[in-house]
Structure 1
């Protein structure tokens, strides 16, 4: 049986799946907090959940992970550039920046890009695939674990066009802002697009409250 990527589930999806396998409704809150507030890398770390239930979680789900292949640290302003290896051996870049008002992170949303913007290096190798919500989230969680810094704001402006991966990016936004998990305000998240007009209107209709930036070229 194929396991489910549990980090890519919204709170509501997680609750439904746990109810389907016979768990109580409160279990979703426990698991969601372990995943997104405490950022545990394995079910064994969920110490307020019985061993029997953890075994069921292990059987039905998996917790995705990224590996750091390279880390470059600026001697000028402590900016950290990460090269992350995804489970399928593809790679994405993430940049952690330190400002007087807090720490910000620039996230990738795709492996490669199909937009063809001349000013951007992301498109040179062509488009490979979209990132899953968990792979976008884990750029935050792994960067925090490695750096010891708490990330205060997010910029979706790394490799890829965020609005070309619309569904997964929107799910990422719902997960990262959920009150029972990380609870990051969407006002602290900025999305940069090269201008996919239909998706801009679709995003606007959702009234999420994040900042939208458009690259003019």
Structure 2
């Protein structure tokens, strides 16, 4: 729900300040609506239902994968498309991937969101409503800002959402924020009080190739980005996850693996190789190619994991549902 509108409405109705906390606590526990809030007066519940929509988002489409992954395309009150995904794991984890912007201004060439027109930053309430949608289905315990948009370009609203996530069941230490390498945002995140994880989308070991894949590299070079990540590590003492999407014939050669191993200090970085969920721009590297790439990394002293691919049968890659939806 729009938490600012909620507080203004309660103030207009002359309600005590604790009412907003009561309403939020019910929502954070997965309440389906105002009717469930038994310690809030019935007349006030009716007033809130009429004046403050229970969610800032409308569900436009849902898709459920064979592996249990659930993807939702939402629309904001002003018609902007955004996506979020619930990933269910066999060990019991329930992780949510949320968006921080509608569209993205940074046009990474492998990303479906990058082909969309940038809309706007999301508010903290719109971020939280993605989470609350899934919380109403089942308890959740992990979250990544790895959906549509660059979270560090909307850091005020992202951190305002992060502050409330523990109420929903997601601690800050189980919250990850992914960036393409937005250096001012990395430094601001390092200075914040929240012990979140940082993930860097790197995808190439040298500047020319990275600029081809990710135009933001023309603004912040690999050297500048890694220096910022190392400042984050010094401030938080939390390793940085490096995401590396495997693109067939583009960034998956032997020389790329060697260059990556020489670039990354294993004390500071954990490397995650990502099988590509095709969006039309590239082909994904084969399993054999990914295995060979990983072997070269390990020969040179850098440990890498391969991300478990989820939701391929429902267009789970970021931006795919929104890119196919009518404007």
State the TM-score, normalizing by the size of structure 1. Answer: 0.80
CA shift for structure 1 position 160: 0.5
Larger Rg over CA atoms: 2
| Aligned partner (choices 78, 85, 103) of residue 95 of structure 1 | 85
Which residue in the other structure is 1:204 paired with? 190
Is the CA contact (8 Å cut-off) linking 1:66 and 1:142 kept in structure 2?
no
Is the CA contact (8 Å cut-off) linking 2:28 and 2:135 kept in structure 1?
no
SS at match of 1:171: helix
Which residue in the other structure is 1:168 paired with? 157
CA shift for structure 1 position 103: 1.1
Which has the larger share of strand? Answer: 1
Which residue in the other structure is 1:120 paired with? 111
Is the CA contact (8 Å cut-off) linking 2:151 and 2:158 kept in structure 1?
yes
Which residue in the other structure is 1:150 paired with? 139
| Aligned partner (choices 100, 106, 110) of residue 101 of structure 2 | 110
Structure 1 runs of 4+ with >6 Å offset = none
Is the CA contact (8 Å cut-off) linking 1:82 and 1:95 kept in structure 2?
yes
- Is there any run of 5+ residues in structure 2 with no aligned partner, and where? 203-209, 211-327
CA shift for structure 1 position 144: 3.6
Is the CA contact (8 Å cut-off) linking 2:145 and 2:178 kept in structure 1?
yes
SS at match of 1:209: coil
Which residue in the other structure is 1:185 paired with? 171
Report 1:14-93 matches (<5 A): 14=7, 18=10, 22-41=14-33, 43-54=34-45, 57=48, 61-75=52-66, 77-93=67-83
Residue 210 to residue 102, structure 1, CA distance change in 2 (3 Å)? same
Work out the CA distance in 1 between the residues paired with 2:63 and 2:18.
42
SS at match of 1:151: coil
Q: Which whole-Å deviations, capped at 9, do the CAs of 1:119-162 have from their partners, x for residues lacking one?
A: 222121221111121221121221343xx332210010011111
CA shift for structure 1 position 24: 2.9
Work out the CA distance in 2 between the residues paired with 1:149 and 1:55.
26
CA shift for structure 1 position 208: 0.5
Q: What RMSD in Å do the two structures reach over aligned CA positions?
A: 2.6
